[in-house]
Amino acid sequence: MDEKCISKAVIRRLPRYYRYLGELLEDGVERISSNELSTKMRVTASQIRQDLNNFGGFGQQGYGYNVQYLYTEIGKILGLDRTHNMIIIGAGNLGQALANYVQFEKRGFKVVGIFDVNPVLKGISIRGNEILMMDELPQYLKDNDVQIAALTLPKNNAEETANLLVENGIKAIWNFAHLDLEVPEDVIVENVHLSESLMRLSYNLNCYVTEHKK
C-alpha cells in the first residue's frame, strides 16, 4: 500500500471534519457538497476536497459526499473503528477526570487501568477501575493488551515513567505533563499542554487590548 506521509496540518483537521459530519448525521442530512460544508465549517471548499483526496475519492461528481459514508471512512482513517485500551498514569484530579469521561469509550478508547504512587489512593474505584500502585504496572502490562497511556502526573516523574512505559511495550503516550518527552521514534507522543493553551489565550487577550489602546 502506498500510504504516503500525510501532512500534520491535514491530520489536525480530520477530527473536526468527523465532528461536523457526526452532527450532520444526527440532523438526518444525507448528502453534502464541499461547498455547503465549507460554509458551515468556515474553511474553503478547496481545502476540504484537497484534504479528503489525500485518502481517496470519497465523493461523487455532481452529487457531493454521502454523509454517512464519509463519516464512516474518516472514522476508519482515525482508527475509531477499533477499540484501544488505555491506562492512566497519575490519579490526581486530571487523571480522575479523564477516567470518568464517558465519551472516550464511545469512540473506542477504553480506560482499563489507573495507576498512582500515592498509597492513599490504592484500591479506590473509578468507574469500575480500582486505582493500582505504580509497582504493579510492569506485571499489568504483561498481562493486558494496552496501546495507550495517558500521563497525568507532575513533570518531575514524567520522563522516568515514560521510559518505564516504553520498556513495557506502550506504543503511544497521551502526555499532559509540562515537558517534551524523549522517546524512541516508533513511540507516538500526543501532547496536551494546558498551560501553553492558557498562555496563548492570554496573549490574544493582551493583544486585543494593546491594539485598541493605539
Partner DNA sequence: TAGATTGTTAATCGATTAACAATC
Q: What is the CA radius of gyration of the chain?
A: 21
Containing H/E element for 25? helix 8-26
Encoded amino acid at 135, one letter: D
**What grid cell was written down for 137?**
504496572
Verify binding: residue 35, DNA, rule CB under 7 A: yes
Encoded amino acid at 68, one letter: Q
CB of 45 to a copy of itself, least distance (A): 18
Q: Which residues pair with 149 in a beta bridge?
A: 87, 173
State the binding partner of 3 from a copy of itself, DNA, none, CB within 5 to 8 A by kind: a copy of itself
State the binding partner of 164 from DNA, a copy of itself, none, CB within 5 to 8 A by kind: none
CB of 153 to a copy of itself, least distance (A): 13
The reply, when asked if residue 99 is annotated as ligand binding, is: no
For DNA, the binding residue among 28, 57, 119, 128 (CB under 7 A) is: 57
For DNA, the binding residue among 24, 49, 148, 172 (CB under 7 A) is: 49
Q: Select 64 or 92, whichever has its Cβ closest to a copy of itself.
A: 92
Please state the three-class secondary structure of 84-101 as a single string: EEEEEECCCHHHHHHHHC
Q: How far is CA 66 from CA 60, 62, 80, 132, 163, in A?
A: 9, 12, 19, 46, 44
Verify binding: residue 62, DNA, rule CB under 7 A: yes
Encoded amino acid at 102, one letter: V
The reply, when asked if residue 94 is annotated as ligand binding, is: yes
Verify binding: residue 43, DNA, rule CB under 7 A: yes
The reply, when asked if residue 92 is annotated as ligand binding, is: yes
Binding-site members are 90-95
Binding-site members for NAD(+) are 90-95
